[in-house]
Structure 1
Amino acid sequence: MPKLITWNIQSARSPDGSADLGHVVGTLDRFSEFDVLCLQEVACGFQARDGTRIEDQFAGLAARLPGYSASWATPLDTLALDGARCRLGTVVFSRYPVLQVLRHSLPWPADPGVMSMPRGALELTLGTPSGLLRVVSVHLEYFSALQRSAQVDRLRELHREAVMHAHTPRPGPADRSAFAAVPRAAPAVLMGDFNMLPDSLEYARLLAPFTDGTPALRDAWHLAHPGRPHAPTVGLHDAAPDAGPPFAFDFAFVSTDLAGRVLRLQVDGAAAGSDHQPLLLELG
């Protein structure tokens, strides 16, 4: 039974404001074992909230999670004034064989007067005991609704494309050449920080049916908890007086062909530091 966790770690933010990878790993150890881990806002070179420089968290997490293969993507990669490279992105750790990794840049249309940053989606095709599985770690734009909407449309295009690849024979040698016919899985899990509310237009658009027979995406929360509102994933431990009530920004979506395999979706409400909470998805 595959167990998948997603968590926006906010550069390994700890309750005291430092960047602490040990806190991240300790939180995960307390929460649940996992076969696949999708982390967003993994960083290198930026400044933590306590003013210290953030270490290379991509390498640091890989060293702390032996037994997992690590794949990462850094949509944000800039040069600081002091000459250091600053990177922000996502990492997926897997116990299963990683057959293919695709790094997708998501749309970033100009939106005058609105802060934003480049965004991406990291796609892995995994060889699990129950068959091929496509896992996509996602982090969409927060401030710009224009960009977030375009990014949702692109995620739908990528899902349609992957399903077509999965069902279309592709010629290629069975070796290590660049043209080797590596499979791309049709069954899919999209997990991450989508920066959208469950009643938003972007949420409805992502789950809208396809007109060409592509299996639609389903919200695993509603499959595991029919009739119940989403458990909040943001703001549970935010001490700001004007923060408002907690809400859900983090989701696990599955393609319709996986809907019957959703056994559990759980939010870790105890995790502190990052203002996002980890989610655990368990498939049968």
Structure 2
Amino acid sequence: MRLVSYNIQYGVGKDGKLDLARAIGAIAGADIVALQEVERNWPKSGMADQPAEIQRLMPDYYGVYGPFFDVDASRRAADGRVENRRRQHGIMILSRWPIRSSRLFPLPKLDNVTGLGFQMGMLEGVVDVPGRPLRVYAVHLSSLASEERLLQAEELMRLWRRTPAEGPTWSGENMLSGVDWSSGEEQPPSPVDAVMLGDFNTRPGTPEYRVLVGDQPAGRDGIHFRMRLSDSWHLAGDGGAGVTFPASPAYPAERLGADGIRIDYGFVSGGLARRVTRAWVDVGAQGSDHQPYWIELAD
């Protein structure tokens, strides 16, 4: 099973041109996809409904969109009627298998007065992988400051670790006041095993990184705890620095280093750690300022 995380920068590539199809073309062959910076009704992306466009480009995939940033973009027509629109920015999960349930979680935000601060979030999808359902998180953390990301990383862990007690999105009896609230469907699964894919906007070894994986990230043959995450690059990376955000005119080498930095990750829970067989970065993709980050799980 191949999973990929890609911050698509709303389809703007390294050449500065908006081409959503080019960005989506880079994730061909994936079984599960986590996308960041997917939006609706923004002038900078042509007022497009990008989640709908992505579904058209990937007609064989199930999908769910999580707009953690949502503000009014409505307008009033000449006849006085309101055209209700929302300007949204968020994350998306796509899967070859049904996404049985999903939840969107806003992450902590600090009220900054300098720099640009955004509401960020995490989208959860329970994917009906045959024989072994999987909890998938698409994540985008703040680029503003480590202080804010640290709060967000702590919230990620809290949200995931409480799932065994919460169970699925509905549980118990399906009948209430004579109405079948299950719509005739089985109760969704509630797996503990999880993968967190996303743009974490932090480098290895930072305080927020250590919240996720501990002080000493475990390799493939290390000790793995069920409710602790492991960095797939340490488990099965194909060598090198794993750079996912290369230096560019907007982010020069003087700021990032000659090659760039690793800020996009695939973290897996302890029960999946030894199923990670490969992790790699698609260094050739041109559809964004980030590079796609891939991991492969054995059956």
The two structures have a TM-score, normalised by structure 2, of 0.82
How many Å separate the matches in 1 of 2:22 and 2:118? 26
Cα drift, residue 26 of structure 1: 2.5
How many Å separate the matches in 2 of 1:111 and 1:214? 36
Tell me what 1:235 maps to. 246
Tell me what 2:72 maps to. 79
How many Å separate the matches in 2 of 1:184 and 1:68? 21
Cα drift, residue 185 of structure 1: 1.3
Cα drift, residue 72 of structure 1: 0.6
1:110 is the counterpart of 2:106: no
The two structures have a TM-score, normalised by structure 1, of 0.86
CA contact (8 A) 2:8 2:23 kept: yes
Amino acid at match of 1:76: F
Amino acid at match of 1:262: V
> Per-residue CA shift, 1:80-126, capped at 9, x if unaligned?
59776321101111111211111111111334434210011000111
1:205 is the counterpart of 2:225: no
Identity score, percent: 31
Cα RMSD after superposing both structures = 2.7
Matches within 5 A, 1:19-30: 19-29=18-28
Tell me what 2:122 maps to. 121
Q: 1:194 to 1:116 in 2, by over 3 A?
A: same
How many Å separate the matches in 2 of 1:53 and 1:44? 9
Cα drift, residue 237 of structure 1: 5.2
Cα drift, residue 274 of structure 1: 1.4
How many Å separate the matches in 2 of 1:172 and 1:151? 35
How many Å separate the matches in 1 of 2:250 and 2:112? 31
Cα drift, residue 180 of structure 1: 7.4
Q: 1:177 to 1:17 in 2, by over 3 A?
A: same
Structure 2 residue corresponding to 1:194, chosen from 188, 192, 200: 200
Cα drift, residue 170 of structure 1: 5.0
Cα drift, residue 269 of structure 1: 0.4
Q: Answer with 1 or 2: which has the greater Rg.
A: 2
How many Å separate the matches in 1 of 2:25 and 2:104? 28
Unaligned runs of 5+ in 2: 77-84, 216-224
How many Å separate the matches in 1 of 2:204 and 2:23? 27
CA contact (8 A) 1:100 1:184 kept: no
Unaligned runs of 5+ in 1: none
Cα drift, residue 35 of structure 1: 0.9
CA contact (8 A) 2:226 2:271 kept: no
Tell me what 1:6 maps to. 5
Tell me what 2:80 maps to. none
Q: 1:244 to 1:218 in 2, by over 3 A?
A: closer
3-state SS of 1:37 partner: strand
Amino acid at match of 2:275: R
Q: 1:273 to 1:96 in 2, by over 3 A?
A: closer
Amino acid at match of 2:285: A
Amino acid at match of 2:56: A
Cα drift, residue 166 of structure 1: 5.1
